[in-house]
Amino acid sequence: MTKLWDKGISVNEHVARFTVGRDPELDHRLATYDIMGSMAHCRMLVKTGIMSDSDGQILGQALAALLSQAREGKIVIEDDVEDIHSQVELMLTTELGDVGKKIHAARSRNDQILLDLRLYLRDVIKDIVEDTQTLVEKLLLLSDRYATVLLPGYTHLQAAMPSSFGLWFGAYAETLIDDLEQWLAAFNIINQNPLGSAAGYGSSLPIDRGMTTELLGFADLNYNVVHAQMGRGKSEQSLGFAIAGQAMTMSRFAMDVCLYNSQNFGFIKLSDSFTTGSSIMPHKKNPDVFELIRGHSNQLQQLPGQISGMIGTLPSGYHREYQLLKPLLFDAIDAFTACQDMLLAALDHITVQEDIMLDTRYDLVFSVERVNQLVMQGTPFRDAYRRVAAEIKDGSFTPDRNLQHTHEGSVGQLCNEQIRSKLELRLSRFDFSYTKALMDLIEV
């Protein structure tokens, strides 16, 4: 097995396979980021005089060719190669000989993987934030469309007070906007440059870490090199909290859909194309899509605890357990994005039932409306409460379905425009300008 750390000492093959783990399988998604990091590192080595201009030009051209291959999915981690870092260096060395061997000066695989993950996770967050924006906008359009269509609001799973589909859809839209705060926190932690921290203690070579920070479009630098190394795990956990937070929102919405779509509720109907059948019951139309969103989302809510349980007791410095975070995080990202994509598609296949509240079983949901009418007529609240309770008890209560909700965020005033403004404000705080820096880096 090809190893960057090979010193001519034979290593037990079982040890080699065990320590490599799933890296050759998982690292394919890091290929473009590893090469872009090497491009920035190469330019910095030339600028600081560690590498000659001619060697830098040769390496730069070779890296640009490798980047094109990576973007086309043509970089293959060979069977006897440990990871993407080893594969890229092997390809450079095979093609360029001694010049290829110079790329690793002032660098360790420790800061390479830190860098690759940061570059990758920035793009993950960008994509998720953009999809979340689309999800919020869809929910707000549904809220507008069904603003006046009532449904029961529940406490303790008991019909409690009048709500509306406008409130229901809008509530999830605004909750997702709050979830963006956690994505912003994760992005700000991740959008700092760890390159140059090497194995976690810096280098005696005269590198320019500010230069690579600018070339790679990072907002700032992880200045303290030990702090940079301790970012391994910390970055993953900050992303884990964001995933878990939004997963809770998706799980709750999926649970509502499963309830509301059932015959006992009958508030909404899923289109046949978004349900599945039974092998024995010909009438069944199961909400499997939303059940799986619920299941995956509940699983994703455990992610921060899984990360803490794996690395929470480690001291400073690099430890091989960090390798185990990669499959945990990558699988979580894949599950999360699959759920979000499915939710975006499924929203177009929900039909709202518009006459729910005419059913007499929901008469008592309007009892608070009667209490508030009496309060507006001058009756003390507690007396009005007892009076309506007595009417309910003796059967004389008659519901008034004409609601008088006027305050902000109520059935009568959804404030969706204000919620849209809140969305715009949240989105404006994400600085995705790093994409321009990367384009400039690639095009040079």
Q: What is the pTM of this model?
A: 0.93
Same fold, 13-104 and 117-145+164-202+222-358+414-443: no
- Report the DSSP pairing between strands 192-193 and 220-221: parallel
Q: Is the pLDDT of residue 260 over 60?
A: yes
Average pLDDT score over residue span 147-161: 95
Residue 105 main-chain phi, psi, to 5 deg = -60, 135
Q: Which residues of 208-243 are buried (b: 16+ CB within 10 A; e: fewer)?
A: ebebbbbbbbbeebbeebeebbbbbbebbbbbbbbb
Instruction: Quote the pLDDT of residue 1.
Output: 45
d(CA 288, CA 310): 32
In CATH, 13-104 is 3.40.50.300: no
Average pLDDT score over residue span 6-19: 63
Mean of pLDDT over the chain: 93
More confident residue, 278 or 147: 147
CA-based end-to-end distance of the chain: 35
Instruction: Quote the pLDDT of residue 65.
Output: 97
Q: Is the pLDDT of residue 257 over 90?
A: yes
**Homologous superfamily of 117-145+164-202+222-358+414-443:** Fumarase/aspartase (Central domain) (1.20.200.10)
Q: Is the pLDDT of residue 98 over 80?
A: yes
Q: Is the pLDDT of residue 320 over 70?
A: yes
pLDDT band at 9 (very low <50, low <70, confident <90, very high): low
d(CA 400, CA 367): 8
pLDDT band at 195 (very low <50, low <70, confident <90, very high): very high
d(CA 390, CA 79): 79
d(CA 346, CA 220): 39
Instruction: Quote the pLDDT of residue 5.
Output: 45
Instruction: Quote the pLDDT of residue 272.
Output: 84
Q: Is the pLDDT of residue 82 over 60?
A: yes
Token pair, residue 12, equals 């037990």
Q: What is the dihedral of CA 299, 304, 306, 307, to 10 degrees?
A: 140
Q: What is the pLDDT of residues 384-433, one digit of tens each?
A: 999 999 999 999 999 999 998 999 999 999 999 999 999 999 999 999 99
Q: Parse the chain into domains and list their residue ranges.
A: 13-104, 117-145+164-202+222-358+414-443
